[in-house]
Amino acid sequence: MPARSLDQIRRLAKNRGFIFAGSAPYGGLGSFWDYGPLGVEMLNHVKRSWWQNVVYNRDDVEGVDCAILMNRKVWQHSGHEATFSDPLVDCKSCRARFRADHLVTDAILARETEGENVHRKLRPIIELFPVSLKAAGLQLYAKLRDDEQDAEREANRRLREFQDKVSNGEKTSLDEFFGSLANIPGMPNVSQYAQLFFFVRRHPNELRSALLKLGKVSCPKCQKADWTDARNFNLMFQSHVGPVEANKGTEEELASRVYLRPETAQGIFMNFKNVLESSRRKVPFGIAQIGKAFRNEITPGNFTFRTREFEQMELEFFIKPPQFLQPGEKTDEQWHEEWVEQRYNWWLGLGIDKSRIRKRAQTREELAHYSKATVDLEYLFPGSLGFGEIEGIANRTDYDLSAHSKDVPEDALKRLKLEKNADSVENLDYFDQDAKARYFPWVIEPSCGATRAMLAFLCEAYNEELVKPPAEADIAALKTEIDAAIKNAEKKKKEAEKEKDAAQRKHDPVAIEAFIRDLTEATTRLPQSLAEIDGMLKDHAGAQNLELVKKLSPKVSKLAEDHTRLVLKLHPSLAPVKLAIFPLKKNEPRIVDEARRIKHQFQHLFRTVYDDSAGIGKLYRRQDEIGTPLCITVDFQTLEDNTVTLRDRDTMQQIRVPMEKLKHEVFHRLGMPV
RNA sequence: GCGGGUGUAGCUCAAUGGUAGAGCGUCACGUUGCCAACGUGAAGGUCGUGGGUUCGAGCCCCAUCACCCGCUCCA
Over residues A391-437, the pLDDT tens digits come to 999 999 999 999 999 999 999 998 887 889 999 999 999 999 988 99
Note whether residue A333 is domain-resident. Answer: yes
Q: Which positions on chain B have an atom < 7 Å from some protein CB?
A: 1-6, 10-14, 23-28, 30-37, 48-49, 65-75
Together in a domain, A164 and A187:
yes
Closest C1' nucleotide to A131's CA: B2
pTM over 0.90: no
Residues A540 and A660 reside in one and the same domain: no
Distance A385 CA to B6 C1' (A): 20
Residue A99: inside a domain, yes or no?
yes
Q: How many percent of chain A have pLDDT more than 70?
A: 70
Same structural domain, A295 and A437 = yes
Closest protein residue to B30 using CA and C1' atoms? A587
Q: Assess if residue A46 is contained within a domain.
A: no
Nucleotide nearest to A506 (CA to C1'): B4
Q: Which nucleotide is nearest to A622 (CA to C1')?
A: B36
The answer to whether residue A287 sits within a structural domain is yes
From the list A72, A520, A39, the residue with the least C-alpha distance to A258 is A72
* Domain range for A129: 85-234
A253 part of a folded domain: no
Whether residue A435 sits in one domain with residue A477: no
Asked whether A473 and A325 are in contact (CB, 8 A), the reply is no
- A319 CA from B61 C1′ (Å): 67
Provide the strand spans (E) within A454-526.
Answer: 462-466
CA–C1' nearest nucleotide, residue A464: B36
Q: Where are the alpha helices (DSSP H) in A148-250?
A: 149-167, 174-182, 192-202, 205-214
Q: Give the distance, in angstroms, between residue A535 CA and nucleotide B22 C1'.
A: 21
Q: How many domains does chain A have?
A: 4
Q: Are residues A282 and A416 in the same domain?
A: yes
Q: Which H or E run contains A361? A: strand A357-361
A11 CA from B17 C1′ (Å): 34
User: CA(A612)–C1'(B43) in Å?
Assistant: 20
Q: Are residues A391 and A529 in the same domain?
A: no
Cβ(A635)–Cβ(A643) below 8 Å? no
- Nearest residue (CA) to C1' of B71: A142
Residues A450 and A499 in one domain: no
Rounded CA separation A180/A630 (Å)? 68
| Closest-approach nucleotide to residue A6, Cα vs C1' | B68
The complex's ipTM works out to 0.87
Between CA A20 and C1' B64 the distance (Å) reads 23
CATH number at residue A310: 3.30.930.10
Residue whose Cα is closest to the C1' of B49: A27
- Give yes or no for residue A139 having a pLDDT over 60: no
Q: Determine the distance between A506 (CA) and B60 (C1') in angstroms.
A: 21
Amino acid A137 reads G
Domain final residue, candidates A428, A461, A494 = A461
Same domain, A553 and A586: no
With H, G, I as helix, E, B as strand and everything else as coil, classify residue A581: strand
Q: Are residues A115 and A224 in the same domain?
A: yes
Provide the 3-class DSSP secondary structure of residue A670. Answer: helix
The last residue of one of the domains, among A182, A199, A234, is A234
Question: In angstroms, rounded to a whole number, what is the distance separating the alpha carbons of residues A486 and A522?
Answer: 12
Q: Are A621 and A610 in contact (CB under 8 A)?
A: no
With contact defined as beta carbons under 8 Å apart, do A540 and A384 qualify? no
Q: Are residues A430 and A532 in the same domain?
A: no
Closest residue, by C-alpha, to the C1' of B65:
A27
Q: Is A74 domain-assigned?
A: no
Pick from A436, A461, A486: which residue ends a domain? A461
Higher-pLDDT residue of A577, A157: A577
pLDDT digits (tens, 9 = 90+) for A214-234: 445 566 655 666 666 655 556
Query: How many angstroms is C1' of B22 away from CA of A278?
Result: 67
Whether residue A587 is contained in a domain is answered as: yes
User: Is residue A108 in a domain?
Assistant: yes
Instruction: Give the nucleotide with minimal C1' distance to the Cα of A550.
Output: B13
What is the distance between the alpha carbons of residues A267 and A323, in angstroms, rounded to a whole number? 27
Q: What is the pLDDT of residues A257-284, one digit of tens each?
A: 899 999 999 999 999 999 999 999 999 9
Return the number of other C-beta atoms located less than 10 Å from residue A660's C-beta: 9
Question: What is the distance in angstroms measured between the alpha-carbon CA of A582 and the sugar C1' of B36?
Answer: 16
| Statement to judge: residues A471 and A386 lie in one domain | no
Under DSSP, the state recorded for A290 is E
- CATH number of the CATH domain containing A629: 3.40.50.800
Establish whether the linkage from the previous residue to A130 is cis, with ω within 30° of 0.
Answer: yes
Q: For Cα atoms A71, A76, A78, give the angle at the middle one, nearest 5 degrees.
A: 100
Do residue A95 and residue A174 come from a single domain? yes
Higher pLDDT, A555 or A332: A332
